[in-house]
A and B are shown apart, each in its own frame.
Chain A
Amino acid sequence: AQRVTQPEKLLSVFKGAPVELKCNYSYSGSPELFWYVQYSRQRLQLLLRHISRESIKGFTADLNKGETSFHLKKPFAQEEDSAMYYCALISGGGADGLTFGKGTHLIIQP
């Protein structure tokens, strides 16, 4: 069965410091990986996806198939980055929906 693991429930860093949110997955095929973000009082929204290979709001994520990881990184954290971050995967044509991790609450301290 496919699984997404986010080992950190809470991550607190200071403004300007680097951020890395960890995500590991288990799936035998070729899934598509995503990072979703939920800001306070807002709905869940897509932050980035591995096939796009783009940087959104300064965040990047590289799929490492050898380590089955998809860590989210940002070199300099900003206060507006404080939010819940969910790593997710989808596979098999998408009929099984997204499989989410439990989420990491990122707090950026001033």
Chain B
Amino acid sequence: DAGVTQSPTHLIKTRGQHVTLRCSPISGHKSVSWYQQVLGQGPQFIFQYYEKEERGRGNFPDRFSARQFPNYSSELNVNALLLGDSALYLCASSSTPGQHYEQYFGPGTRLTVT
């Protein structure tokens, strides 16, 4: 198993555009979480999905949305991009949600907004 995979690796967008980031969890994992990591900071929680339902949401504006598909892969969408959205976006998967289950992280997608 390649672990959690994310695509694309890097992305450059212009302010006001829309972006879609993709994540494939470890085989057998049903829960996916998204994090934003701005340079010099720790990752910040955006969303958690389990069985295609949103289970938790961090303090992010409505421009951020996500969904999970029947195969448990997930997309993170960001509308009306701002310069401040430039960051590394991390996806993490776990077998089930809940604080006792280890989250495995992907390599991230580096988004640059110009």
Contact = CB atoms under 8 A, between A and B. Distances in A.
A45 interface: yes
B10 to A, nearest CB: 15
Interface of A: 4, 31-32, 43-46, 49, 51, 86, 88, 90-103
Contacts of A4: 42
Contact of A95 (B4, B40, B48, B103): B48
A90 to B, nearest CB: 4
Contacts of A93: 97-99
Nearest to B105: A44
Contacts of B45: 96-99
B107 A43 contact: yes
Interface residues of B, number: 28
Contact of A97 (B33, B40, B106): B33
Contact of B99 (A43, A45, A94, A100): A94
A102 B40 CA distance: 7
Nearest to A38: B105
Contacts of A51: 100
B98 A43 contact: no
B52 to A, nearest CB: 15
